Amino acid sequence: MMANEALRFIGAKVRDIRKAKKLTQEQLADLAETHHSYIGAVERGERNVTIQSLEKIAVALDVDLYEFFEYGKQFSAPGSKNETLREIIVLLLDLTDQDLKKTYNILVEINKK
């Protein structure tokens, strides 16, 4: 896995946990004592986040630090199918919510065949 892919996976996990806890980026930033633009950059995988910063975010989200590293681990084993799934996930991480829903609908239609 390339470093920037790892950052995107971690950022996606931060975003998913934040949304599940119904927090805005601003609220999470306040709890983690950082700026909301930093949280946004972490969630987009644009910041090379330190362990100390991730720890602050974990405490603010009331989760264990290791949870940020679980995204996509089931696809890290070698193999053509796993590699393709990992590449698809990396592409999906960059989609807007609206485009992600469209992609989901397309996959549902393909799977009906």
Per-residue pLDDT of the chain (113 residues; tens, 9 = 90+): 556 888 888 998 899 899 999 999 999 999 999 999 999 999 998 999 999 999 999 999 999 998 888 765 555 555 666 677 777 877 887 788 899 899 989 988 898 86
Closest CA to 60 of 37, 30, 84: 30
Which is it for the CA torsion 62, 1, 74, 103, positive or negative?
A: positive
Hey, what are 13's tokens?
Answer: 């996990």
Measured CA to CA in angstroms, residue 56 lies from 52, 62, 64, 70, 111 at distances of: 6, 10, 11, 18, 41
Q: Look up residue 44 and give its DSSP letter.
A: T
Q: Has this prediction a pTM greater than 0.75?
A: no
The domains found in the chain, sorted by start residue, are 1-71 (1.10.260.40), 75-113 (no CATH)
